[in-house]
Structure formats: C-alpha cells, structure tokens
Chain A
Amino acid sequence: MSEKHDMATRRRFLQFALFNTAGLCVGSLVAFGSSDDSASPSGPDDLSRFDWGFIVDTTRCIGCGSCVRACKIENDVPDGYFRTWVERYEIDEEEKVHVDSPNGSLESFRQDYVRSKHIVKAFFVPKLCNHCRNSACTQVCPVGATFHSPDGVVLIDREHCIGCGYCVQACPYGCRYISHSLGTADKCTLCYHRIHRRLETACVMACPRDARICGNLKDPRSRIRRLLHERRYSLLKPELSTNPKCYYIGLDLEVK
C-alpha cells in the first residue's frame, strides 16, 4: 500500500519535473541566448520608449561583493560611500536578527557574524537606488538638479547641484551621499552611460549569479517583465509610497 503510494508520488513528481524541464529549457534558451532585450535607444528621441527597472533576486545572491567592486570602479565612487552594497541578515536560534554590511561588502564577508549561536536563517540582500517613480529625493531638490530622465532613471546634474543634502535626507533607502570632492550629491545612475551603449550596468554585468536584472519595463517582451510575471516580489518600504522600480524577489520581512 505504502509502496504503491510512494510510486504514485514519484510519478507525479516526475511529471512535474518534466514540465519544469520543458519550462527550464525555454528559460535557458533565453538565459544563454544573446540577451538583446536590454537593447537601448539609438538617440535621445527614443527615450520615452524606455522605462528602466531593476530586479534583485535575493534568493540567488551569494554576497560575493562583485557588484559593489564593479560599481566602485565603474563610477569612481568615493571611499566610504556606496551606490550599491550588500547587506547580510542572520537570524539566530533565539530569533534575534543580526544585520551587517562591512564596508558595504566591498570585500565580501570574512566569516559568519553570529558564531556563538546556531544560525537558523540567513541571507544576503543587495541594495541600490530604487529609481522610484514617486521619488522623495527628486521632489525635495530645491534647484532641479536631480530629476527623472525621460526613460525613468533618477539622475543628478553635477553641474547644477548645490550640495545642500536635502535629497540625502529625503531618500528613505540611504542610497544618496554627498561627494565631498564634487561638492554635490551623488547616487546610482543605473550606469546611464552604459545602458545607452547597449551594455549592462556594471553591477548586473559583474554579478556571477544572475541575481540582478536590469531592463525595460515598457517592453512587454523584456526579460524583466517576464520575470515579474513569473516570480513573486516585493518592494522596500512600500508604505512610504515612493513606488520603487527596483523589485526584490524573495524579500524577507526583516529587510527594511
């Protein structure tokens, strides 16, 4: 009886696996095929066809810090400040949450943070500018030095910013900083100089685990749209109604 039952489950499982296999083959065609869906505009007139969005798959992140290192170099980010960083969450057997991100995880993590207690749950969460649709930072800029580009990227005009720091205060995610060498605010540009050359952002390119995806939300056939339809995701601090465009797959409640 039990053996029969076992056989039935096994069959069901195999069927299930088969369907998944089919799905995966299609999926991998996309993954391994040339990714042309990150295509970018050829001229500024085309910008309105684009709305750049981002996916962070927290379930895939291994906390290696490649994205942080790549971003630092690509964008010449000053020491002690970060346009992207990786946070680590460890929950011990007493359900106490420990969070850390030593130097933004620029050099990954040297050891488990919690060592004296048993860790029951742990994960990494990469963070970057959410490029919110209803961003608090662009709202508060008194001079119009930070703005939404026509293709939905929150940018800073380094020639116009007065460096008052109001946007740094207004960003609920701590994604902005004052660059003391420039005397202006600074933040993730979603590698605007790269995505317009049909290149991936430095962090997406550097991620060895495909945990970061950047793409055009206006294109119904883009990988980012497909993933958003397939996977369940969440946003950071949705209660502030900043309406972020950075979607987190597998986001834990502890992440704020």
Chain B
Amino acid sequence: MEGFVLPNETHVTWTVMIVLYPYITGLVAGAFIVSSLYHVFGLEQLRPIARFSLVSAFAFLLFATVPLLNHLGSPERAFNIMITPHFTSAMSGFGFVYAAYGIIVLLEIWFHYRADFIARYESSRGLVKSIFRIILLGSTVRTEATDRVDHKLVKVLAGIGIPVACILHGYVGFLFGSIKANPWWSTPLMFIIFLFSAIVSGVSVLIFLYQFVHWLRRAKINQVTLDTMARFLWGFMIVAVVLELMDVLSIAYEQTEEWAILKELITGKLWYTYVICQLLICSLGPFVFLSITTLIRLPRRWSNGLIFLSAVLLLTQVLLMRWNVVIGGQLISKSYRGFTEYLPGVFAKEGLIAAATIFIIPFVLLWAFDKIFPFFTPDESQEGTPDAV
C-alpha cells in the first residue's frame, strides 16, 4: 500500500485469472487469423501450419472461459449472462460472441477434418466406428464433389470467423477501454491494442509450438512457412507496440489530470513489469531480432534460433501486457492518491498453480489431438502434400 487507497480497494478484484483470460482469447484470435490467412487469403506458405492453427484456436477457445468461471463469485449462475443479457454492458455480448465463435471454429474443423474422419471411420470397427459415425452425423460418403463443398465452406467459415475473432478479442479490449473510472484502461485505443497484441501472441504461440514440436521430433521444418510467419510476426508486433506506446505517449503529452498518477504507476509499481520487461526486453528485443531475420540473410540455425527466441519473448510480452493492463489498472486507487498491492497466491483458488494448470491444459489437449490426427506428417513439413482442403 502506498499513499491513500479507498477502503474497498485494499483487495484487488480482478486477479491473475483475468490476466489469463484475455491472454488465452488472444491466442485463440491470433491462431485463428493465421489459419484464415491461408484459408481465405490463400497464403500458400502457411498451408503446413493452417490446420494446426485452426485446432489450436479451438483448444484455447475451449479453455478461455475456465479462468472466468474460476474467478466468478457465483459460477453456478454463469449462464445468466445468456439468459438475461443486459445489452448496455460490454460484457453481456460475451456469451453470444463466444458461442458464435465456438460454433464457427467447430464447424470449420468439422468440414476441414471430414475427410480424415471418413478415413478413420472406414478403417476402424466396433465402438470407435460408431463414434465416428456420430461425429460424421451419418454422412460417410466422400466424393470429389463433397470435398469441393467442404473446401468452400471452410473458406466461408474462415471468412466469417475473422470478424468474429476480432470482435471476440477486441471486445475484451473494449471491456477494459470503456471503464471511465480507470485512467489506465480508459482509452478507445484499448480495443485495437488488444486485437494486435492478440495476433502477436497467436502467431508467436504457433511459431513456438511449430519449432518446438519439430525440434522434439527431430523433424525438418518448412523454412518458407517459418519465415513467412516470422515476417507477419514482425509486422504485427511493430503495430502492436507502436499502438501501446502511442496510448501512453498521448496521455503523457497531453498532461491530463490522470498523467500525474499514471506517471507514478509507470515509474513505480510497474517499472519492472512494464518498462523493463514488457517494453525493453520483450518488445525491443524481438523487434531487433525479427528485423535481423527479416532483413538480413543469416545462417538458418541462427535465424531460426532468433525467431524462436522472439516468439518466446513476444509470448511473454503479451502476457506481461495483460498483467500490466489488468493488474496495473487496479493498483491505482480511484482516489488518485495511492496504489494498492497485489501478489497472486501460489496455492490459492485464483493462484499461480491454478493459472498454470488452466494454461497448460489446452497444450495437453493439442497433444492428445495430435495423437489421433497428426498435425505435421513428415512429408507435409517437407513440401506439403495436398490434403483434403
């Protein structure tokens, strides 16, 4: 506690769970947009990662609500948000946007994987066969014509999915940006900052997983794909960081009433997590590295190493950004006269172990999915064999 905080502000209301929630939805939106770059905009270089990114988006999407449910005071009433949505609230759309997005991703995966499902259906027997029959809704016929239809629908769904993904994640930004009571949150830029940082985190996590899985399996990566993703990451991170800086700079330059307290926040409570870690280490570092890998020809080992490092740093950057926004904003007393304190417990209900568990489960899910339908078949990562899409 520093200075004066209002008596009800000694406890931070939104904990590390609410840090995790936009982080996970950010991964969802980012990963989905990468898959759409291939499906909608036909970026062939991204084909090897397209289906992986789509399933990643779904895996993260499944767990995006878990931190929220863990945080709710009365989680058993969570569905009230859809039963009696109060549309003056930015949060009320959550259930619908989330459901719509979930349906789109699910449908897209279903159409995308239909050919694989049919192959499994035909090759299996007994219970597994009937499970696949149910999954396929009884339509077990695959022809060139159905493939064409599926392909087209995936493209349409991916196209619809882009704005919905933007809404899903941008709305999280709006949720913070529209709180006029909080000077650190209240900015119309918040929407777009969240969107771009979401894409950054989504691309980063894909690069990270792609390289990590291939390293683990001693498999050869598709250099063109990786370079393309690194270029995208470079571009998106520049926009994201510039927006983040613009926001703070404009408040600082305007010297508004809030700047007095925000300056103290930045140079005090958030000095390490925001200035040192988020801006200097995790933004400037990847910017330099990715500039090098994009603009200068380096030995592959070197450039891939730098890309991997950048992806990890940017993943951290986005997590730090979520922390600095969500927690940072709550540290400021609404009296503008002091700061409260927050340290997440380790074993607490909303503590670090719970957070880590929630964050790790989607990766486990991806691993399990990969066991059934491998994302990266050896020949695919070499050249990219034509698949059902």
- Chain A residues close to B by CB (< 8 Å): 80-82, 85, 87, 97-101, 103-104, 127, 136, 139-145, 160-166, 168-180, 182-185, 240, 256
Asked whether any CB of chain A lies closer than 8 Å to the CB of B72, the reply is yes
Asked whether any CB of chain A lies closer than 8 Å to the CB of B4, the reply is yes
| A205 to B11 Cα, complex, angstroms | 29
Asked whether any CB of chain A lies closer than 8 Å to the CB of B88, the reply is yes
User: Closest chain B residue to A173 by CB distance?
Assistant: B334
A161/B74 in contact, CB under 8 A: yes
- How many chain B residues sit at the interface, stated as a range, is 35 or more
Decide: A170 near B72, CB < 8 A? Known: A139-B89, A140-B89: no
Q: Scan residues 1-50 of chain B and give those whose CB is less than 8 A from a CB of chain A.
A: 3-4, 6-11, 13-14
A140/B80 in contact, CB under 8 A: no
B7/A81 in contact, CB under 8 A: yes
| A179 to B11 Cα, complex, angstroms | 11
B74/A163 in contact, CB under 8 A: yes
B88/A139 in contact, CB under 8 A: yes
Asked whether any CB of chain A lies closer than 8 Å to the CB of B182, the reply is yes
A5 nearest CB across to chain B (Å) = 47
Decide: A172 near B180, CB < 8 A? Known: A99-B4, A164-B72, A178-B73: yes
Contacts of B142 in A (CB 8 A): none
- Chain B residues close to A by CB (< 8 Å): 3-4, 6-11, 13-14, 68, 71-75, 77-78, 80-81, 83-86, 88-92, 94, 175, 178-182, 330, 333-337
| A104 to B7 Cα, complex, angstroms | 6
B13/A165 in contact, CB under 8 A: yes
5 closest A-B pairs by beta carbon, nearest first, are A163-B73, A174-B6, A183-B73, A172-B181, A142-B91
Q: List 10 A-B contacts (CB under 8 A).
A: A80-B10, A99-B4, A139-B88, A140-B89, A142-B89, A142-B94, A164-B72, A168-B8, A172-B334, A178-B13
A166/B91 in contact, CB under 8 A: yes
Which of B11, B94, B335 has the most chain A CB atoms closer than 10 A to its own CB? B335
Contacts of A185 in B (CB 8 A): 73
Contacts of A170 in B (CB 8 A): 179-181
A142/B81 in contact, CB under 8 A: yes
A143 nearest CB across to chain B (Å) = 4
Contacts of A82 in B (CB 8 A): 7-8
| A168 to B8 Cα, complex, angstroms | 9
B7/A103 in contact, CB under 8 A: yes
A99/B337 in contact, CB under 8 A: yes
B350 nearest CB across to chain A (Å) = 11
B181/A171 in contact, CB under 8 A: yes
B65 nearest CB across to chain A (Å) = 12
B13/A162 in contact, CB under 8 A: no
Cβ-neighbour of B179 out of A98, A141, A169, A179 (below 8 A): A169
User: Closest chain A residue to B73 by CB distance?
Assistant: A163
A58 nearest CB across to chain B (Å) = 15
Contacts of B335 in A (CB 8 A): 87, 99, 174, 256
| A80 to B92 Cα, complex, angstroms | 30
Cβ-neighbour of A136 out of B3, B86, B181 (below 8 A): B181
Cβ-neighbour of B80 out of A80, A145, A179 (below 8 A): A145
| A23 to B72 Cα, complex, angstroms | 55
A160/B80 in contact, CB under 8 A: yes
| A168 to B86 Cα, complex, angstroms | 17
Contacts of A240 in B (CB 8 A): 180-181
User: Closest chain B residue to A139 by CB distance?
Assistant: B88
Contacts of B84 in A (CB 8 A): 143-144, 160
Which of A80, A136, A172, A174 has the most chain B CB atoms closer than 10 A to its own CB? A174
Q: Besides the contacts A87-B4, A98-B4, what 6 more A-B pairs have beta carbons closer than 8 Å?
A: A140-B90, A142-B94, A163-B73, A166-B175, A168-B8, A174-B334
| A178 to B8 Cα, complex, angstroms | 9
A218 nearest CB across to chain B (Å) = 24
Which of B73, B75, B92, B180 has the most chain A CB atoms closer than 10 A to its own CB? B73
Decide: A100 near B4, CB < 8 A? Known: A142-B89, A165-B14, A169-B182: yes
| A182 to B89 Cα, complex, angstroms | 23
A162/B72 in contact, CB under 8 A: yes
B81 nearest CB across to chain A (Å) = 5
B92/A143 in contact, CB under 8 A: yes
Contacts of B179 in A (CB 8 A): 136, 140, 169-170
User: Closest chain B residue to A103 by CB distance?
Assistant: B7
B80 nearest CB across to chain A (Å) = 4
User: Closest chain A residue to B93 by CB distance?
Assistant: A142
Contacts of A87 in B (CB 8 A): 4, 335
| A150 to B342 Cα, complex, angstroms | 38
A143/B181 in contact, CB under 8 A: no
A125 nearest CB across to chain B (Å) = 11
| A180 to B74 Cα, complex, angstroms | 10
| A136 to B80 Cα, complex, angstroms | 20
Contacts of A99 in B (CB 8 A): 3-4, 335, 337
Cβ-neighbour of A176 out of B8, B72, B180 (below 8 A): B8
| A175 to B289 Cα, complex, angstroms | 47
| A54 to B10 Cα, complex, angstroms | 26
A246 nearest CB across to chain B (Å) = 15
| A87 to B8 Cα, complex, angstroms | 12
| A139 to B337 Cα, complex, angstroms | 26
A188 nearest CB across to chain B (Å) = 11
| A185 to B72 Cα, complex, angstroms | 10
A169/B74 in contact, CB under 8 A: no
A80/B11 in contact, CB under 8 A: yes
Contacts of B85 in A (CB 8 A): 142-143
B13 nearest CB across to chain A (Å) = 4
